[in-house]
Amino acid sequence: MLFRKKTYSEIELIAACSDNDRRAQEYLYRKYFSNMMGLMVYHVRDREKAMEIVNQGFLKVFKKINTVNDPKALGGWIKTTMMRTRADYFRSDAKYLRAVILEEPEDSRTESNTLSDLYFNDIVKLIEKLPPASAEVFRLFAIEGYKHNEIADKMGISTGTSKWHLSAARTRLKELIQEHYDIRDVG
């Protein structure tokens, strides 16, 4: 005798997951996993980190699914939760952000206690103040992990131009951090 897998409407799925129904949680996980994994691999470019973020994201989804107000928006809510989990993942690594923003590859590492207090969302807001091309290169290099040759191909620019935009973005971000946090000398 073959067993048919239960299917859920979005309302039933939210209710069952809210009640910690393991079958419903597995159903939700299987239904959204490949899309969320693809999204994270695209943004993170490292399958292991992407898997870690997706699994952390699904834990958050299962803990907070009872807060979903519109069952039709479940997929969007899960995607938003994943993107916030990605931000949390990188925010937790302040050294990573500090190194990417404030250090040139040839420079020795500069430590700054004040900068360790910067959070990922603060950095993202400052990135939005950069010229669009420099902001895009910085985002692709520093946050998504692309190499300069990949950025050049993706944006239709030369590798040298990609490197220039990254340098310009770092310089401007240092200035913005100094202005925003009233810091006299950053790295």
Assigned CATH for 10-91: 1.10.1740.10
Domain spanning 94-181: CATH 1.10.10.10: yes
pTM here is 0.53
The amino acid at 166: L
Q: What are the φ/ψ torsions at residue 3 (nearest 5 degrees)? A: -100, 135
What percent of the chain lies above the pLDDT cut of 90? 40
| Distance (Å, whole) CA 48 – CA 152 | 25
Q: Higher-confidence residue: 186 or 90?
A: 90
Examine the pLDDT at 67 and tell me if it is beyond 50. Answer: yes
CA of 74: how far to CAs of 14, 26, 38, 87, in Å? 8, 15, 18, 20
Q: What is the pLDDT of residues 97-155, one digit of tens each?
A: 555 555 544 443 444 444 444 556 677 778 888 898 998 888 888 776 778 988 898 88
**Sequence ranges of the domains in the chain:** 10-91, 94-181
